[in-house]
Amino acid sequence: MVAVKKICCIGAGYVGGPTCSVIAQMCPKIKVTVVDVNEARINAWNSDRLPIYEPGLKEVVESCRGRNLFFSTGIDDAIREADLVFISVNTPTKTYGMGKGRAADLKYIEACARRIVQHSNGYKIVTEKSTVPVRAAESIRRIFDANTKPNLNLQVLSNPEFLAEGTAIRDLKNPDRVLIGGDETEEGQKAVHALCAVYEHWVPKERIITTNTWSSELSKLAANAFLAQRISSINSISALCEATGADVEEVARAIGMDQRIGNKFLKASVGFGGSCFQKDVLNLVYLCEALNLPEVARYWQQFIPEVNQTPLFTLLQICDFLVEVIDMNDYQRRRFASHIIDSLFNTVTDKKIAILGFAFKKDTGDTRESSSIYISKYLMDEGAKLHIYDPKVPREQIILDLSHPGVSEDDQVSRLVTISKDPYEACDGAHAIVICTEWDMFKELNYERIHKKMLKPSFIFDGRRVLDDLHNELQVIGFQAVTAAEDTALTCVTTGEKRCLHLESKDEFSRVWLMLFFRISSAT
């Protein structure tokens, strides 16, 4: 069996950095080198201030950095000496040409493949870590085959990551599963077993799943699409709860006790964010539209109960279904922003709004597709003055995200956005507080102190339901609290008065909800 003694990881981002740091810690006899073209990022990995925040990551890095873990810009040297190369570069959604807005942009993957074949000799295992479309490994292999050398033997594997930001180190050290896909040839299986041996240093063998390459690639996309679908479904239920007087928390609890469903990802909120969910769902949409694969239709048939007794979805139906998952996420964000505007007497122009939290979830500094960006956009469009605080997202990143052409125009950000150094500064003199990230620290703020310095009436809009246990306390203080996904008859906690909130476009909700679930029921 091939023994892996040296690993090179191309890409020092949210996947490559944490993954290879844990591998280095768990495999002290393997030399791990993480490389990147971004010199500033590599310098940060070699400093006391890492470029990304992840609980436990700093301790892992410091335990093995300089011993068997190295961060470098010397990409070509690292490729040459490695037995195994991970490709962990970005695969964003295309913003141009065919597949714009849906297909994954593989230009960085292709660039890596060409660089690897140029600087490699002998036997080497090349492993996809980035989220890629099905059959991307075949594209990499074609580049290798077209540039082959007499003494070169490159084996291509797929090893997708299933990390949740905020718990990445825990997920890496105690994974639900490790998925490795490779060719079903003798050479391909040797490469698969070599990578299995790396993970077997700390992962039980029964948790290491081996498949063919294409099954591995599709499993990553499908897993994220399933999770996104669950979030959008419970958010759609939250709108229905508001219209009927039901409590979405009670409904979610009842649903989650069904063992066939389970209670994970049934927390209604302002919508999902992060780098993967939306991108991967859109990627699946594009695959359905472009590749005409019946296997995809059979896979998505699993959305339907009693799978063996139901007909297949058509590809068009699958595409419509996946688009509706994204539509529902966008609708939830707009609906939350509408609640804010309606509650503030139907105008937020020139009103100071404190935005607490900008990361897409707690325990990470990642802002990609964060709901905070979109809620901020809707409020800026209405002329609100936003004072934003997040404990882990740097000022530069917030300004960059809000300055994107699709988010703001002209000088909107410079006129309307202020980055605060702490939550108390953000809330000082504000008309309302909007909680967009479920940071634990927001449960522990001195809300009596905050209320004294806010304009009256003082509103709290809890988009992540982190203050559910504090409602009585907030009522005594004098806040008017509005929680995302509560029922329509929301209580103003100061007065106890019931009032109805205007739902933006009930017809829009009805259309998405009925199409989503009529399609499932009509197929049974």
CA angle 269, 273, 274 (to 5 degrees): 145
| 162 known ligand binder | yes
Report whether 226 belongs to an annotated binding site. no
Burial of 511 (0-12, 13-18, 19+ CB in 10 A): middle
How far apart, in Å, do the first and last CA atoms of the chain sit? 49
14 has binding-site annotation: yes
Binding residue per annotation — 325? Answer: no
Write down the catalytic residue from 20, 241, 276, 427.
276
Among residues 513, 494, 516, which one has the least CA distance to residue 244?
513
- Measuring CA to CA, which residue among 191, 248, 464 is closest to residue 336? 464
Asked if residue 15 belongs to a known ligand binding site, the reply is yes
**Tokens 């049974």 — which residue?**
524
Please check if 29 is assigned to a binding site: no
**164 is annotated as contributing to ligand binding:** yes
Pairing of strands 417-419, 352-356: unpaired
276 annotated binding-site participant: yes
Q: Is 41 annotated as a binding residue?
A: yes
d(CA 232, CA 329): 6
97 among the known binding-site residues? Answer: no
Tell me whether residue 319 is annotated as binding: no
* 276 is an active site residue: yes
Contacts of 276 (CB under 8 A, 6+ apart): 131, 224
Asked if residue 464 belongs to a known ligand binding site, the reply is yes
Does the annotation list 297 as a binding residue?
no
Q: Which residues contact 457 (CB under 8 A, 6 or more apart)?
A: 480, 494
Whole-angstrom distance, CA of residue 509 vs CA of residue 137: 40
Q: Is 144 annotated as a binding residue?
A: no
Residues whose CB falls within 8 Å of the CB of residue 41, separated by 6 or more in sequence, listed in order: 12, 13, 51
Extract the tokens encoding 514: 């009925």
518 belongs to an annotated ligand binding site: no
Q: Just list the catalytic residues.
A: 276
Q: Annotated binding site: which residue ranges?
A: 11-16, 36, 41, 89-93, 130-131, 161-165, 220-224, 260, 267-273, 276-279, 360-361, 368, 464
Q: Annotated binding site for substrate: which residue ranges?
A: 161-165, 220-224, 260, 267-273, 360-361, 464
Q: Annotated binding site for NAD(+): which residue ranges?
A: 11-16, 36, 41, 89-93, 130-131, 165, 276-279, 368
